[in-house]
Structure 1
Amino acid sequence: MMDQLRRSVVCRLTNVAILFTLYFLVALSPETTAQQPPGLGPKGDLVGLEFEAAGSTTMIGQNARKQLIVTGVYSSGQRHDLTHDVTYSVDVPAVLNVDAEGLVVPTADGTATITAKVASGQLATLIVSTSRCAEELPVNFEHEIVPIFTKKGCNAGGCHGKADGQNGFKLSLLGFYPKEDYEYLVYEDRGRRVFPADPDFSLLLQKPGNLLPHGGGQRMSPGSYEWELIARWIRQGMPYGSETDPTLERIASVPPVREMNFKAKQQLAVIAHYSDGSTRDVTRLASYEANHPEMALANATGRLTIEDVPGEVAVMVRFQGSVGVFRAIIPQGTPVLATPPERTFIDNFVFAKQRQLGIPPSALCDDATLIRRASIDIAGRLPTVAEVEQFLADADPAKRDRLVDRLVDSPGYADYFANKWATVLRNKRRNGTDIPYTYKFHAWIRRAFRENMPYDQFVRSVLTATGDPETHPPVAWYREVKTSTTQMEDVAQLFLGMRMACAKCHHHPFERWSQQDYVGFEAFFSQVGLKNSKFNQNVNQPDMVYLKTSAPSAKNPRSQLDVKPTGLGGVPLDISPYEDARQYLVDWMAAPENPFFARALVNRYWKHFFGRGIVDPEDDMRVTNPPSNPELLDALTKHFLDHRFDLKDLVRTICKSNAYQLSSQPTEFNQTDQQNYSSFYPRRLSAEVLYDSVNAVADTPSNFGTIPQGTTAVQLPDNGFNNYFLEVFGKPEAESACECERSAEANLSQSLHLLNSGDVQGRLQNGQGRAARFNREPDRPDADKIRELYLAAFSREPRPEESTFVMSQIAGYPNKQQAWEDVIWAILNTREFQFVK
C-alpha cells in the first residue's frame, strides 16, 4: 500500500499542469488599479489661524514648558495643523522664547504676546504670562523626574525596569512605584548614584549622557532640558515632594480628534490635570504609540505622521500612570454614490461609516458565494451539492434569510460553536482518565448552544460551577484554571475583553487598571477550593470544586492589605462567608450598565464573521485601543441586551445584514481598507473545517480511531486526538483563553501536506471516494461530474473554460480514476478552496 502511495505521489507531482492551470482559472481575479484618493477634498483658501486651547496660558517657574498648537482654518471648513509651518515672534523676547516647533520656554517674569504668522499674512496671537522664573522652585520627584526615566526608556521592561534590574540598578516598571524608585536612587548603595556637591558628575547623569560606559547608550545630552532638570533636583538635595502636593488625575490630548489626509502631520499637546484644579503641559515628557503603526507613526515630541491607509487610528498617550487617546480620522474621500440596501441597523452604521470616510463598498456577493460563506461561518462545514443546487435554483427574494435561519437551527451550528467555546474554555485532555470530564463538558457546551441558552446563563453556569464534573460538567473548567489568578485573568480576557495579566505585578502600562484593581477582581474567586472527587484518584489533578467558608478577599502583595471583591471600575462589595462571591461577579457582569460584558461578546462574534473585530484584537478592549466604529459597537451591544443575551438572534442579525453579504472582491476604491468592512475579508479555513472539507470533496469519511467513524473534526470533543493534519494547520491545544492560540498563518508544511502527504493521497484513492465513484460511472458525462465536483468544493458552477480544461486533461489519461484523483487533488490545492470568501 505504501509503495502504491509513493508511486501516486510521484506521479501526481509530475502533473503540476493541472494544479497551476486550475489555480489561475479559479483563484485569480481581475486586478484593480488604485487611484490617488481625494481625501478631505480641496481645502480652499486659508481664512484664519488659531491657537488651540492647550491648558493654562500662565507658566510658573523655569521648569515649565508649553507646546503650541496652531491650526489653519480653511474656506472648506477643514482644519489643518500648521504648528511647524508658521513663523513665531514674541513682542517681549526677554520674557519667553518660542522655537520653530512651537515649544515655549519662560525666561523671566512678565507677560508677552506670541504671534504665529504664515507667508500669506494671516496671523494669530496668544498672550502668555510667566511668573517665579527666578525662583528655585522645588522639583517634584514623582511628577517631574520619574517621567524622564519613562520617556527615555530607563525604566522599560528591557532595561532597569525589569524584575531584577540591569547591572545592579533597578527602577519600577514605567515608574509606577515612584517611592520605590526614590529609595533605589537616593538611599541604595549609600546614594552613590547622586552627587549633590556637583550634580553634573552624578552617575544618574553621567551614564545616560554616555560620559561613562553605559549599555543603553546615550539617552540624554548634557545641557538638555531633562539633564538640567535632574541636575537641579540633585542640587536641591533630592526632594521627593510634599504630602500636600496635588496628585495627577488625568491627561488629555490636544486636539482630541482630527480628520486628516494621507501623509498629513499633526502636532499634539498633552495636558496633565491635577487634583487641585491646576494643569501642566507634559507634551515633551509623555510617550506616544499608535495602535495601528501601518496607519500612523508618532515621534518622541508628539508629532504624528499619517500613512496612506484610510480608517481611524488611535495614538496612545501615556504620562505616569495615566493614559489618553488622540483619534485621527483618515478619509479616503471617494464619493459614495450608492450602497447596497440597508436591511438592518448594522447596515446603517457600517455604510454610514463608509460614507464618512469616502470608501465605497463592494457589491453584494452572489448566491454561490453566500451559501458557502454562511455554511462555513455558521455551521463549520461546506454546503452539500444538493443544498447548493436547491439554493441557487430558488427564486424567492427571502431565500438568504431562510438560509441563515436554517443554518442557525441546524446541528452544525451547535457543533461548530461548541468547538469554538470548548477551546477557549480550555476543555483539555491531558491523559486517558480525563475523557469522562472533557467529553461531558463538551456535550454540555454543545447542548447549551443547541438549546440556545442565554449567554449570561451560560457564563454563570461555568463560573459558579460547584461539585464534581460527573454531575456538574462545567466544573471541568476549574481543572485547567486552578488558581484564583488564572481564573480571574481568563474571565477578564474571555468574557470582558480585558488582558489583566500585566496588572498582577504593576499598573497596566496601556490601561487604567492597577494592581489593586487586579487583586479586587481576583477576590471573587478566593473562596474556590479544589479537591478530589470519589471518581478521581489523581492527586495532581483535583476535579471537585467546593466553597470555603470564609469572607472573600485577596491580599495585595505590595501593601499586604486584604482587598474585598471589586468589579473593574466598581466599588468593593461586602459579601458574607456563607455567600458565593462568584454569583455577585456574574450579577455585576450581566447588569445592563456593565460596560464590558455584552460589548466583549458582540465584538468577539463580529470578528468571527468578519475576520476583524470592531475592536481588534477582540480581547484587548482597552481605552487606548478604541473601536473602529463605536456607534456600531454600541448598537450591537444594545441589541444583544434588548434580546436578553440571545446568541442565535445575534448570529441571525449579523449574517442577514448586507454588510456581511458584501463581495470579497475589492474595487479600486476600497482595496486598501483594512477596518471598515467595505468588502468581505477572505480568510483561511480553520484546521477542523479544512480537514472536514477535504473529506467532503473527496467524499470519504473521517476516522479518528476511538470515536465513531464519520465524526467530523469540528465535532471532536477535546484536543486528545493525534492528527498531523489538524496540528500542521493550527488547531489549538486549548492551553489559553485567547483565540490567538489558533494559528491562521500559512506555512510550507501546510502546502507540502496538501500536495504530497500520504494522508491526503489515501483519501483521494479511497475505493468508496468520489474519484472511485466517478470511475465506476463511465456512462455519466464528464461535464456532469465536473459540475458536481465544483458544486462540492466551491459551491458554484464551473465556468466554461474550467470545464473545458478539465475535460481535456481527463481525456489524456488512460487511467480515469487517477485522472479524477488528480483533478480533485488540484482543486484541494487552490486558494478558492482553502479560503472562505
Structure 2
Amino acid sequence: MLPIHKNFSFHRACRWLASPWLIGSASAVAAVTFSATMNYLLLQRVSAADAVLQTPAAIARLEVSTGEESAPGIPTIKIIGTEGRRQLIVTGFPAAGVVAIPRDLTREVHYSVEPATIATVNSLGVVVPQADGLGRLTVSVQGAEPVNVPLIVERFGNDPPIDFASQIVPIFTKHACNSGGCHGKSGGQNGFRLSLLGFEPGEDYEHLTKEARGRRLLVAAPEESLLLTKASAATPHGGGRLIEKGSPSYALINRWIAEGASPSDPNARRVIGIDAYPLIRVMHPSSHQQVRVMAHYSDGSNEDVTPMAQYEVNAPELAAVDKSGLVTAVERGVGPQRSGTAALMVRYQSQVAVFRATIPLDSPLVKLPSADAFVKNFIDRHVLDNLVSLGLPPSIPCDDATFLRRVSLDIVGRIPTLDESRMFLADADPTKREKAIDRLLESPEYADYFANKWSSILRNKRTDDALHRRGSYSFHAWIRKSMLENKPYNEFVRDILTATGEAGSHPPVIWYRQVTDANQQVEDSSQLFLGLRLQCARCHHHPFEKWSSEDYYQLSAFFSRVGRKKGLQPGEDRLFHDRGTPQANGPKGVVKAAVLGSPPTEIAADQDPRQVLLDWMTAADNPYFARSLVNRYWKHFFSRGLVEPEDDMRLTNPPTNPALLDALAKHFVEHGYDLKDIIRTICRSATYQLSAEPNELNAEDRQSFSRFYPRRLPAEVALDSIDTLAGKSTGFSGTLGGTRAVQLPDSNFNNYFLTVFGRPNGDSACECERVSDANLAQSLHLINSTDILGKLTGNDGRAFRLANEKERDVKQKISELYLVAFSREPTAEETSLIETYLVAHAENVAGAYEDLIWSLLNTKEFLFNH
C-alpha cells in the first residue's frame, strides 16, 4: 500500500474531521478525511443599535431581598442572637426599555443603618448584629431610589446553649473535616474518626468526647482543646489551618466547649429543608451573583446559613463559586467563548438546593431563526427558546446523505445499504425523511439494535455457558420481541420487575439471576427505571440528594418477599412470591416498605409488594419514571442527556433544558409509553436534523444542542459497518452465518474487535460500562491487524469483486464505495484522485481497491456518526 492520503480533499460537511482518525505510517494509506471551507453563515449579525449592551447599563431601580417579608413584596430583617446573620441580595435593574440584564450589586451598593449601634453591614453584604433594637437599613446606589428595610435585632448577648448537631457538626462539614478524604472516610484519619458529612452526630460526639483520653475537648480551658488547636494549626495538623482563630466558627466551637460540650438535645429543632436564592439568574461573562441559603426548621423557624453551606458548580468551564456562595461567570477572553447553564449545588446538613446560572454568549446579538422557520415539533420550540436565551445560533440542517446515515445508525444500528442510499438521495418527496424514520422503526433490525442496548444494561449474560445459555438467549429473545411488538414501556418494566416462574416460560426472571439480593435489586431498578443512583444511601445519607438510608431500605423492602427455589432446568431458579410482611433490616432497625417521599405502605401478606411498587413507578404522575426513559433515549440520539449522566437525575444535577425534559415526559405518558413514538418524535425534530458542522458561535456548545454532537460508532455497529463495506461477515461461534454483532444475545462471544472497541460486559446497570473513547489499541487494530486485513483480501470480498467486475466503469465503482461508506457521492476531486491511483496500480487492481476500502474505513467520517 502506498501513501495517497495527502492528496485527498476534505468534504464540506465534515470539517469537524480536521484531524484524521489515524496517523498513517510510511507503508500504509492513512485515513481519508473529507472537508472543505465552509462558505456560508447561518445567521447574520444585526445592527449595532440592536446589539446586547457590552458595558453595564445605568441602574434605575434597586430590588433588595432579605429572605423574609412583612407583606408580599415588602422586605424586612429580623436577627435573633449574637451569631445571627443575614445575607442581603441586591439586584440592579436598568430603566424601562433598556436592553440589559439585571445584575447583582450586593457588594457594590452603599449600606447605612439607623441607629448605627444595632448592626453593621460587611463587605459581603451581610448584616451583622451589634445590639438589640429597632432600626432601618438603607440601600442606595447612584441613579436609583434608595430602598429602606425595617431591621429588628433581638436577644443579642442572650443566646441559648449551643446544640452540637445543628451548630457544631455543620462547621466540620463546611471545612471538610468529615469529608471522605479526611476524618469522614471509613476508619477515620490519624486516629480520629467522624461520620461522613456529619450524618451521624451521635457518633461524632462519642468520638470527640471519649477518645484520645479526652484531650480533644478541655472544658476548663477551651482554647487548649485539641479540636481547636489542630483546626487553627496552633498544634501541627496534617490538614493545615482550617479555621482562623477569632473567626465565627472558632468562636462557636470555643463557646460550646466552655458551656460544657453538651451532646445534642434530642428535642432541639432540626433542619427540614433549605432554599437557595435566587433560583436562577442570567449572568454575563465576568459577572457575579451572590447566593443566599435559608434553612427551615422543624419548629417553623428560619435561619440564614449561607456562610455554613457547601457549594459546588457542575460546569466549571462556565462558572466558579467561593466559600461564601459568590458565583462568578467565566471571564471575557479566557478560553473559547462558551454559553450554557451552570448549576450550583448547595448543601447544608442533609438538605440540598440548586441555583442555576444561565450564561449567554458575550457577543453582539445574532438573528436566530424564527419559530416558523425552525420548529417542526414541540422539541424544537423548547430548544429554540433555550438558544434564544443564550444568544446561541443553531447550525444549518444536515444534508440528506448525512441524515440517512445518522438515522440508520441510531435506529437500526447499521449504515444504509447501497440501494437505500441511492433511492433516498434520488427521492424528491419532501416527506422522505419522515418516511425513512417510519420504515426503519418497523424493520426487524430496530428490534435487534434496541434489544442489544437493553440486554446489556439489564445484565443479561452467561456466567456459565452450559447452565445459562438457555435462560440468557430466551431473555434476549423476549426483549427483542417486546421491542418488535412495541410493548408499552410501563408494561415492559412491570414484566421485568414483577417476574415470577422460570426462564423457559417467563424469561424476565433472568434479571434476578444477575441481580441477586434486595439491595442490588433496588439499586439497579432505581438507576435503570427511575434515573436515581441510590447506592450511597445504602450506608449513609446520600451526599448529593435528600434520600436517607431509611428511604433506601424502605424501597428495598418491596423486594424482600422474592422467593427462590430450584427450577426444572439445571442452573436456573424458580422465582415466587414468598407470603409475608415486606420489610428490610436498615442500619437503625427494621423498616416497612415505602415508596420514595411517602410514609410506609400497608401491604397484605398475600399481595406481591413488587406490584405495589410498580403501581407507583408507572403512575402517570410519578416524577421519575417517564423522565428517566426520555432522558435515556435523548442521550441515545444526541450523545448526551438533558441530564448527564443519564441515570443520575438528582435535584443537584438539573437538566440543561428543564422545560424540554418535562414536555418529553408528558408526551411519553400521554402517548401510552410508546417507545417507537418517542423515537419518531425525536428523529423528526429539526434539532435532531441539525448539522454537526459548527457555525462561528456554537463550536464550544456541549449542552444546548445547537448542533449535532458527533460520536464514535458503538463497537458492535462499527464491526458490522466494516463488514458491510468490506463485503465480508464476521463469524461468531454458535450462531447462524450472517449474524450481525448487534444481534448477539449477550457479551459472551469472544471477539477482539468488540472488546477493544468497548463492548460492555453486562456487569452493570450503567450505560457508562460501554467505552466510547478512542485509544491506541483501536488504531493499531484498524491499521494492521490480521482481522481487518482478512476482511479486505481474498476472492470473496468487495475489493476482489470490484476489481474483476467488467460491466461498470471505475466511476460507478467509486460511487458504490462512497455510497456504502458515507451514503454520499464522492466529489469530483475525490473521484479524480482515486482514478489516478487505480491507473497507477493497474498491475494489482484488487490490491488498489483493498487500499481504498482500508482508507475509507479508517476515516472519522466512517467511524463516527455525524
Per the TM superposition, whether the score is higher than 0.5 is yes
Deviation at 1:190, TM superposition (A): 5.1
CA 1:815–1:671 in structure 2 vs 1: closer, same or farther (change >3 Å)?
same
In structure 2, the partner of 1:493 is 527
CA contact (8 A) 2:62 2:144 kept: no
Distance 1:243 1:446 in 2: 55
Distance 2:550 2:594 in 1: 9
Distance 1:32 1:749 in 2: 39
CA contact (8 A) 1:39 1:331 kept: no
Aligned-partner residue type, residue 582 of structure 2: P
In structure 1, the partner of 2:716 is 688
- What do residues 654-702 of structure 1 show as CA deviations (whole Å, max 9, x unaligned)? 1111121111111113222222211111111000000101111111112
Choose 412-421 or 794-803, whichever is displaced more: 794-803
**Partner SS for 1:421:** helix
Deviation at 1:19, TM superposition (A): 2.5
Q: Check if 1:59 corresponds to 2:71.
A: no
Aligned-partner residue type, residue 556 of structure 1: G
Q: Check if 1:658 corresponds to 2:686.
A: yes
CA contact (8 A) 2:518 2:556 kept: yes
In structure 1, the partner of 2:435 is 402
Choose 383-392 or 74-83, whichever is displaced more: 74-83
Distance 2:41 2:286 in 1: 22
Aligned-partner residue type, residue 475 of structure 1: V
Distance 1:694 1:755 in 2: 13
What does 1:412-561 align with in structure 2 at a 5 Å threshold? Answer: 412-433=445-466, 434-536=468-570, 538=571, 543-557=573-587, 559-560=588-589
Distance 2:282 2:620 in 1: 33
CA contact (8 A) 1:83 1:102 kept: yes
CA 1:35–1:654 in structure 2 vs 1: closer, same or farther (change >3 Å)?
closer
Q: TM-score, normalised by structure 1?
A: 0.94
**Partner SS for 1:217:** coil
CA contact (8 A) 2:42 2:396 kept: no
1:44 is aligned, of 54, 57, 71, to 57
What does 1:300-319 align with in structure 2 at a 5 Å threshold? Answer: 300-307=323-330, 309-319=338-348
Distance 2:127 2:206 in 1: 33
Distance 2:857 2:131 in 1: 77
In structure 2, the partner of 1:388 is 421
Q: Check if 1:336 corresponds to 2:365.
A: no
In structure 2, the partner of 1:606 is 634
CA contact (8 A) 1:34 1:668 kept: no
Deviation at 1:33, TM superposition (A): 13
CA contact (8 A) 1:157 1:173 kept: yes
CA contact (8 A) 1:359 1:678 kept: yes
Aligned-partner residue type, residue 61 of structure 2: G
RMSD: 2.2
- What do residues 51-103 of structure 1 show as CA deviations (whole Å, max 9, x unaligned)? 22324611111111222222111123631011222344444443223221212
**Partner SS for 1:437:** helix
Distance 1:337 1:31 in 2: 15
**Partner SS for 1:280:** strand
Distance 1:689 1:775 in 2: 27
Deviation at 1:117, TM superposition (A): 4.0
Q: TM-score, normalised by structure 2?
A: 0.91
1:709 is aligned, of 728, 737, 744, to 737
- What do residues 139-172 of structure 1 show as CA deviations (whole Å, max 9, x unaligned)? 1212211111000000111111112111221111
Distance 1:57 1:766 in 2: 85
In structure 1, the partner of 2:646 is 618
CA contact (8 A) 2:43 2:368 kept: no
1:676 is aligned, of 686, 690, 704, to 704
CA 1:746–1:36 in structure 2 vs 1: closer, same or farther (change >3 Å)?
farther
Structure 1: gaps of 5 or more residues: 1-11
CA contact (8 A) 1:703 1:709 kept: yes
Choose 97-106 or 158-167, whichever is displaced more: 97-106
In structure 2, the partner of 1:823 is 852
**Partner SS for 1:620:** coil
In structure 1, the partner of 2:125 is 102
Deviation at 1:826, TM superposition (A): 0.9
Aligned-partner residue type, residue 701 of structure 1: S
CA contact (8 A) 1:87 1:100 kept: no
Distance 2:762 2:734 in 1: 20
Aligned-partner residue type, residue 796 of structure 1: R
Deviation at 1:108, TM superposition (A): 1.8
In structure 2, the partner of 1:163 is 186
Deviation at 1:268, TM superposition (A): 0.9
Aligned length: 818
Distance 2:539 2:366 in 1: 48
In structure 2, the partner of 1:7 is none
Q: Percent of pairs identical after alignment?
A: 49
- What do residues 208-255 of structure 1 show as CA deviations (whole Å, max 9, x unaligned)? 112222221211111111111100111111133544432212111121
Distance 1:675 1:241 in 2: 45
Aligned-partner residue type, residue 597 of structure 1: F
Distance 1:778 1:494 in 2: 54
Distance 1:530 1:486 in 2: 16
Q: Check if 1:745 corresponds to 2:773.
A: yes
In structure 1, the partner of 2:162 is 139
Distance 2:789 2:273 in 1: 63
In structure 1, the partner of 2:26 is 14
In structure 2, the partner of 1:71 is 91
Q: Check if 1:699 corresponds to 2:727.
A: yes
1:233 is aligned, of 236, 239, 256, to 256
- What do residues 162-215 of structure 1 show as CA deviations (whole Å, max 9, x unaligned)? 121112211111111222222222334553311111111111111111222222
In structure 2, the partner of 1:204 is 227
Deviation at 1:42, TM superposition (A): 6.5
Q: Check if 1:836 corresponds to 2:847.
A: no
Aligned-partner residue type, residue 138 of structure 1: P
Deviation at 1:15, TM superposition (A): 4.5
Aligned-partner residue type, residue 543 of structure 1: D
CA 1:533–1:527 in structure 2 vs 1: closer, same or farther (change >3 Å)?
same
Deviation at 1:337, TM superposition (A): 4.0
CA contact (8 A) 1:39 1:262 kept: no
Distance 1:149 1:259 in 2: 33
In structure 2, the partner of 1:5 is none
Deviation at 1:303, TM superposition (A): 0.5
Aligned-partner residue type, residue 359 of structure 1: L
CA 1:736–1:79 in structure 2 vs 1: closer, same or farther (change >3 Å)?
same
Deviation at 1:779, TM superposition (A): 5.6
Deviation at 1:281, TM superposition (A): 0.8
In structure 1, the partner of 2:195 is 172
What does 1:178-189 align with in structure 2 at a 5 Å threshold? Answer: 178-189=201-212
Structure 2: gaps of 5 or more residues: 1-23, 69-75, 331-336
Distance 2:475 2:534 in 1: 26
**Partner SS for 1:719:** coil
Distance 1:28 1:836 in 2: 21
**Partner SS for 1:169:** coil
Deviation at 1:650, TM superposition (A): 1.3
In structure 2, the partner of 1:766 is 794
In structure 2, the partner of 1:191 is 214
- What do residues 258-278 of structure 1 show as CA deviations (whole Å, max 9, x unaligned)? 111122211111111123332
CA 1:27–1:198 in structure 2 vs 1: closer, same or farther (change >3 Å)?
farther
**Partner SS for 2:569:** coil
Distance 1:42 1:136 in 2: 47
Choose 399-408 or 609-618, whichever is displaced more: 609-618
In structure 1, the partner of 2:9 is none
**Partner SS for 1:271:** strand
Distance 2:530 2:53 in 1: 37
Aligned-partner residue type, residue 160 of structure 2: L
Distance 2:650 2:492 in 1: 25
Distance 1:233 1:239 in 2: 8
Distance 1:264 1:833 in 2: 43
In structure 2, the partner of 1:356 is 389
Distance 2:798 2:77 in 1: 79
In structure 2, the partner of 1:296 is 319
CA contact (8 A) 1:19 1:827 kept: no
